Amino acid sequence: MSSVLRLYVRRLLRSALLLMAVIVPAAFAAPQDSITSLSYQLQPALVDGKLEALDMRMAFDMPASGLARIRPPQGIGQETPSRKVMATAVHAGTLASTSDGIWTLHAAAGSRVEILYRLTPATDATLVGGSGYQDILMGADWFQGMGENLFAHPDGDTKAVVRFEWKGPVTWMLVTPLQELAKAGPLTLQNLLQTTMVGGTHVQRATRPIRGGTLRMAAVGHWMIPLDGYADIAAAVISEQRAFWNDTTGPFTVTVVAMDRNDYFNAGVGRDGAFAAYVARKVTPVTVHGLITHEYTHMWIPRRTGRMPDGADEPLAYWYSEGFTVFHTSRAMLGSGAWTLQDFANDFNSISTGYDMSPARHITNSEVATGFWKSRDVQEVPYKRGAILAWILDARLRARTQGHKTMNEVLLHMRDRFAANPSLGVRANLVRSYADEGGGAIEDWLSRYIDKGEQMALPGRLFEGCLKMLEEQKAGIGRVRSVMVVPGLSEDALKGCVKRIGR
């Protein structure tokens, strides 16, 4: 996610090594050198009743070295700390900033220190401009933030237990999955960094029973969200996916922001026990249905089906986490009746023609990782490339097992293997699980189609009898494939197609 984080760790390691060369005995004798008892208090900064900023009061016990390095909130996929964050006061210590924006705090060993910092709002345009989710979205009486853009923190142990407290006025309400997580046990820094929250004076709320728990939905933003309709859709999707995977219970939270834009923009980000959704005015219920299915599928793809590569290497496996999620979502949308076969064909075509016509379709997987947060074209590659690969793998498995097995069995097998061995990587798990289910060896395909970026060709008979595969030669691009619904299908034939493709 953040290459700077990695660089910073490397730099720290290097200086630690240099230090050890000089004072080896002292280094070995040194007690644990990390800050402890970390706590946060969040408060809206109101001027004449209007929200201007958010104020965070961060407190902790100093390490024995008397030096603490704190990373200010940075957002998701960003390389430098946010410019919208400013330290406003320090109690019992002295704060300085390094050239890469890290806060360094000097104070007496073991003393309790406080850093107060202020978070000023992003604009909706920041979110949409492809720069990622870097800052807090705010209106006069509401805000939405994610852990990465709220919490300053030390590098290192994200499993450390922390405290979080909301100090809003009584007229303000906060909704965050942290409230549910705190009921189940102590919160960790990881919980905070991986969270979403909405707060305000008029937070729209809805709750629904779901399979194995309760759904809480909360919305803020520039216009009234049709929240009851959204909650009905979310409850159905979550219960359906929980039934498919049959391994999850517990509460779930969805935060929604009504974006100030009059188009079809929608986006979601998976969180701990939650996801954050962003929707523009023209978004339709069926788009929301797709968004929720995609985001909720991330609870398994990749979260419960394998380990993702760490840090800046994470995008190396987005072909799986995003591509297979796109694939699984398309099938769930068709199978659940949210899409007709024609809707499915339209969506499939956006993936297929988008893939064949993408200027980035031939980039290598390492180029995906380096360019993911920098270029829109690059960002789309793993979604489309991974989805096409999943369809091809699905067709091959069906063919080899006379239609008895589909990718569903592979995904469930991956979940079981990962539950038994939590160090298993997504790629290794897919390779093995696919072979176990009878699909054969796929390392060669992964190396060609994913690592080297060789263009895949969809089999002509992929959706035989339901969707006809069309091929067009486009000047300067090459072969572009799309599908059309076979004309004149009977009602029964259509049902059969939905059943077959949607499974």
Which residue type, as a one-letter code, is found at position 148?
E
What are the two backbone dihedrals, phi and then psi, of residue 468, each rounded to the nearest 5 degrees?
-90, 130
Residue nearest to Zn ion (CB): 322
Smallest separation, CB 383 to Zn ion (Å):
8
Whose Cβ is closer to Zn ion: residue 164's or residue 252's?
252
- Listing DSSP states for 420-467 in one string gives H-TT-BHHHHHHHHHHHTT----HHHIIIIIIS-PPP---TTTTTTTE
Smallest separation, CB 301 to Zn ion (Å):
9
Smallest separation, CB 320 to Zn ion (Å):
11
Whose Cβ is closer to Zn ion: residue 135's or residue 322's?
322
Query: In Å, what is the CA distance from 311 to each residue of 23, 277, 325, 424?
Result: 31, 23, 20, 17
Whose Cβ is closer to Zn ion: residue 180's or residue 322's?
322
User: Any residues with CB less than 8 A from the CB of 386 and at least 6 apart, and which?
Assistant: 318, 319, 320, 321, 322, 323, 324, 326, 327, 450
Would residue 156 be called left, alpha or beta, if left means φ above 0 and alpha means ψ between -120 and 50 degrees? left
234, 244 contact by CB (below 8 A): no
Which residue type, as a one-letter code, is found at position 257?
V
What are the two backbone dihedrals, phi and then psi, of residue 479, each rounded to the nearest 5 degrees?
-75, 130
- C-alpha R_g of the chain: 24
Smallest separation, CB 322 to Zn ion (Å):
5
Q: How many CB atoms lie within 10 A of CB 67?
A: 15
Interacting residues with Zn ion (CB under 5 A): 322
Whose Cβ is closer to Zn ion: residue 240's or residue 322's?
322
Residues written for the chain: 503
Query: In Å, what is the CA distance from 288 to each residue of 324, 331, 358?
Result: 19, 16, 26
From the list 327, 434, 336, 319, the residue with the least C-alpha distance to 382 is 319
d(Cα 129, Cα 152) in Å, to the nearest integer?
A: 24
Whose Cβ is closer to Zn ion: residue 320's or residue 463's?
320
Whose Cβ is closer to Zn ion: residue 121's or residue 382's?
382
Smallest separation, CB 325 to Zn ion (Å):
5
Whose Cβ is closer to Zn ion: residue 87's or residue 378's?
378
Smallest separation, CB 429 to Zn ion (Å):
19
Whose Cβ is closer to Zn ion: residue 322's or residue 437's?
322
Whose Cβ is closer to Zn ion: residue 272's or residue 322's?
322
Smallest separation, CB 298 to Zn ion (Å):
6
> Quick one: CA dihedral 346, 347, 349, 350, positive or negative?
positive
Smallest separation, CB 175 to Zn ion (Å):
22
Smallest separation, CB 423 to Zn ion (Å):
23
